[in-house]
Amino acid sequence: MEIYVYTSKAIWKRGREGTIKCGCGAELDFSLPLEFGGKAGVMTAEDAFVASINMSFATTFFSYAEKEKIDLIEFECDTNGILDRTAPKTMFKRLVIHPKITVGKYEDVEKVSKIVELSQKYSNICNSVKGKVVVEFKVDVQEKK
Amino acid sequence: MEIYVYTSKAIWKRGREGTIKCGCGAELDFSLPLEFGGKAGVMTAEDAFVASINMSFATTFFSYAEKEKIDLIEFECDTNGILDRTAPKTMFKRLVIHPKITVGKYEDVEKVSKIVELSQKYSNICNSVKGKVVVEFKVDVQEKK
């Protein structure tokens, strides 16, 4: 077994607000989302959950891109999480990952398609969520002059 | 159906590092965890995932505590995520939530026990993860003089 432990500490500040300290060193304020009576502009559990899927897909992609020596020019990825709060069970039903990738060589396009597939398959977080994860990607080529 | 959408955008910076912008307004740098060849001190997908469970449990608790007029003095919550990277499927197998709650009145102790149970049951994120979620809590009373 290959086991890793990740930790965090949440501390209440006031009302529906707190501070969270992650094991990695990142520290930030959080609250309930605005639509559930929280404060605007700070992190929420719902945003962090969707962001964790996005970051996991992205970093897994970055690792494979490095390994496969992809000439990566740009990588942008929008991830949307659809939260269903229909009683009694509230949960994220669907997570849609939309990576847009620009590479410098035509021969990288096929490799990128393969890497997108592997990144979803081996993402620690994509494998840890109940909702359906869907990836819809786009690759562009921008050859250097 | 009661549906909410949460969004995020990840942008590649270099190597295994990027920046993430969440719909709530929070923006931060991220990388692979140090143990998988990333950079120290910035957010990681794994830390954000565990933090999202912590924040969701905490904010659900804060809402109930407000509703039930609990005389809350302190709330601290450590959450640990056990990631099993045994091939071929890598995932968070177990999430352990350890809230420590201090209230100002003895009569709040029973209410707090009930609220802890409800907070796990109605947390958007606890309901969205595959791994087993366990809550082990402690309540202290600190009466005002």
Residue of A1, A2, A3, A4 to mutate for B, most B C-beta atoms under 10 A? A4
DSSP letters along B25-62, please?
A: S-EEEEE--GGGT--TTSB-HHHHHHHHHHHHHHHHHH
**Minimal C-alpha gap between A137 and chain B (Å):** 14
Q: Quote ipTM for the complex.
A: 0.96
Sequence-ordered list of residues with C-beta below 8 angstroms from that of B129, at least 6 positions apart, any chain: A128, A129, A130, B53, B92, B95
pLDDT of residue B89: 79
For residue A109, give both structure tokens: 């396009």
Asked if the Cβ–Cβ distance from A25 to B42 is below 8 Å, we say yes
Asked if the Cβ–Cβ distance from A84 to B1 is below 8 Å, we say yes
For residue A122, give both structure tokens: 């081996």
Asked if the Cβ–Cβ distance from B85 to A54 is below 8 Å, we say no
Closest CA to A18 of A36, A45, A50: A45
**pLDDT lower than 70: segments of chain B:** 145
Q: What percent of chain A has pLDDT over 90?
A: 92
Q: Which of B24, B47, B92 sits opposite A47 (nearest CB)?
A: B24
pLDDT tens per residue, range B57-92: 999 999 999 999 999 999 999 999 999 998 777 999
Successive 10-residue mean pLDDT values, chain A, 145 residues: 94 97 96 92 97 98 97 98 88 97 96 97 96 97 84
